[in-house]
Amino acid sequence: MRQAGTHAVYVLYVVSLSAFFASLNQNIYSPVIPLVRDVFDVSLHSVNLTVSLFIFITAVMQLIFGPLIDLKGARKVLIPGILLAIGASIGCALTSNFVLFTIFRSLQAVGTAAVPVIAAAAIGQLFTGSERGRAMATYQMLLSVAPAIAPVIGGVVGGAWGYSGIFWFLAGTSVLLLAMNLLFFPKDKPAAARSLNLHTMINHYRSIMRNRTGGAVLTLGFLAFLIYFAVLVYLPVVLTDHYRLSLALVGLLYVPAAGSTVAGSLLFKYLQTRRPLPQLCWLFNAGLALASAGFALTHSWTLAGMSAALVVIGICIGALSPLYATMMAGEFEDSRASAIGGYNFVRYIGMAAGPVLLSWCLAIISPLEFFLGLGLLLGVVFMLWLRLLQAGSSKSAEGVDLSRS
């Protein structure tokens, strides 16, 4: 699948757009959740459950699709996945039964879950060296924009055509993506024609975890997204309860957070051609740890200081996402999709764990202690992994550690 030139660029934008629209599926109907509740005459808790179920299924399917793609080939997984998403979106639009709606929504999650794994793995195969880092940054930048844009699109489409209009929109965009991928996504022959079973999957992920770089990325990626989503969930609480801001102003303060993640991806795209990846890993993990501590110290003292800490956190997350994906793609040449799938899985688990851990801990400790503790934990864990990474050999062209435990 390794190609160069114009076709590789076409594939980059096709898979990036595919991942962008796949991400829209997760957040696009958030603005019409009350409408869905009223149309199906169910509780708000039941509707929110479909949101959580979508995220959970997406996370778990990362672990399944990764080895499946490595063994069977990306195109053989991608095309059926998009077809499933099209059918599930149409089902969501047509059904008047909430149980069926939940089933179709779950199938939609299964269909779209393969896209981010395939996109990152394809970029890893099509590009090498600094070109891979630039391509990964472009992909992650589009991906980071989706959660901010999705509710806006959902609000416009849902306001005009109701909740079913949102799913017809998703079905239509999926048909468009199917056509683009059929035209441009390259045919792929997997490295080994083996069957997928539980033993094979366990061996895949055991080897990734035992690898120094793989273990570091999975551990640090989990902590990074746990911190980020704990901050995002706590932000409206402190803005409304402590600073007494209106909901409109609270919403506006999320704009710098979203914009800073895009800026972080662009910063990584610039720096990765000038600095080795381990140095960037050190820089952005240290920045995230210090910014978490800064958020802890300023959140109840100064709005400007808290906003500055929030921007730094967003920049670090925006840079770490393509950085970690690039490291995994460079390290695991023969099981790249499994490595990317494992990384995506810990990201989703970190996203889910952050708000839960926040609610548990705030019952017994203060927000200052919680976020300061998270910053300290990230710093300590990163220093421990740094010592392990430095103990192994490095791949000079990629700046990625190749030692295996």
- pLDDT at 1 exceeding the cut of 50: no
* Claim: this prediction has a pTM higher than 0.85: no
Instruction: Work out the pLDDT band at 81, boundaries 50, 70, 90.
Output: very high
Mean pLDDT of the region 314-339:
89
Higher pLDDT, 115 or 200: 115
Q: Residue 402: what pLDDT?
A: 32
Strands 394-395 and 400-401: antiparallel
Half-sphere exposure of residue 325, counting CA atoms within 13 Å on the CB side? 36
- pLDDT at 161 exceeding the cut of 70: yes
Contact criterion met (CB below 8 Å) for 175 and 52: no
Q: Which residues pair with 404 in a beta bridge?
A: 211
**Mean pLDDT of the residues in the chain:** 85
The DSSP H or E segment spanning 204 is helix 198-210
Domains and CATH numbers, the chain: 6-193 (1.20.1250.20), 201-401 (1.20.1250.20)
Q: What percent of the chain has pLDDT over 70?
A: 90
Contact criterion met (CB below 8 Å) for 254 and 337: no
Mean pLDDT of the region 300-312:
92
Phi, psi angle pair for 211, to nearest 5°: -70, 135
Contact criterion met (CB below 8 Å) for 343 and 257: no
Task: Give 378-398 pLDDT, tens digit per residue.
Answer: 999 999 888 776 665 444 334
